[in-house]
Amino acid sequence: MPTSKAPFELMKLPYADNALEPVISARTISFHYGKHHATYVTNLNNMVKDTPYANLTLEQIVVKSAKDSAAKGIFNNSAQVWNHDFYWKSMKSGGGGAPGGKLKSAIEKDFGDVAKFKEAFGKAAVGQFGAGWAWLVAGKDGKLAITTTSNADTPVAHGEKALFTTDVWEHAYYLDYQNRRPDHVNDFLSKLINWDFAEKNLG
């Protein structure tokens, strides 16, 4: 992840606004990326200005503020910037399908096969109550696991290594799918997931 320090900038999307259609429309991108994500960046810069947090990288801010009860706002906004930066990279036009190489072997070892993994991940993402995220993470022992976090919470705050994520806050899919979260998650897995990004993160 980037090692830059405040003031932070809204990351540039790695594809055009309409590249993820029809799963994620350009209209959804305009609100989700152009409004929500951008606001988190603006809020974070305002909150850390003239504080010791201003001298830290984004990831360092997330980890430190997660343990600071007086920095809840800083945590929420820094974690959401990190989560969204990671989320956009977790997708690509023409994505989906199955992973290859080392990641495929790891998924088969820890979940049985790719189909079983997708089923388990889908259930976790759909079952996340309210706003939040579903993640594929690698533990310190290298074993893969599916986890979910609520609101702005993130694996980074818990020392976990994220491989990819999907956003299940309603603003991520409501314009395109309304209340049909299961359909959105299924289409994310079958049409958008960026396995190359996930494998790179596996290392």
> Quick one: what percent of the chain has pLDDT higher than 70?
99
Q: Which residue has the tokens 């994505």?
A: 95
Give the per-residue pLDDT at 141. 83
Joined tokens for residue 108:
């088969």
Q: Which residue has the tokens 């818990």?
A: 158
> Is it true that the peptide bond before 22 is cis, omega within 30 degrees of 0?
yes
Do residues 54 and 98 lie in contact, with contact meaning Cβ atoms separated by under 8 Å?
A: no
Does the structure show a pLDDT above 60 at 107?
yes
CA–CA gap between residue 159 and residue 161 (Å, rounded)? 7
CA–CA gap between residue 145 and residue 172 (Å, rounded)? 23
Q: Which amino acid is at 41?
A: V
pTM of the model: 0.95
Does the structure show a pLDDT above 60 at 1?
no
Render pLDDT for 112-171 as a digit per residue (tens, 0 to 9). 999 999 999 999 999 999 999 999 999 878 899 999 999 999 999 999 999 999 999 999
In sequence order, the 6+-apart residues with CB closer than 8 A to the CB of 112 are: none
Mean pLDDT of 79-104: 96
Mean pLDDT of 173-182: 97
Q: Where exactly does CATH 3.55.40.20 map onto the chain?
A: 101-202
CATH class entry, domain 26-89: mainly alpha
Q: Where exactly does CATH 1.10.287.990 map onto the chain?
A: 26-89
Q: b/e string for 126-145 if b means 16 or more Cβ within 10 A? A: eebeeebbbbbbbeeeeebe
Q: Does domain 101-202 have CATH number 3.55.40.20?
A: yes
Name which residue leads in pLDDT, 3 or 4.
4
Give the per-residue pLDDT at 3. 61
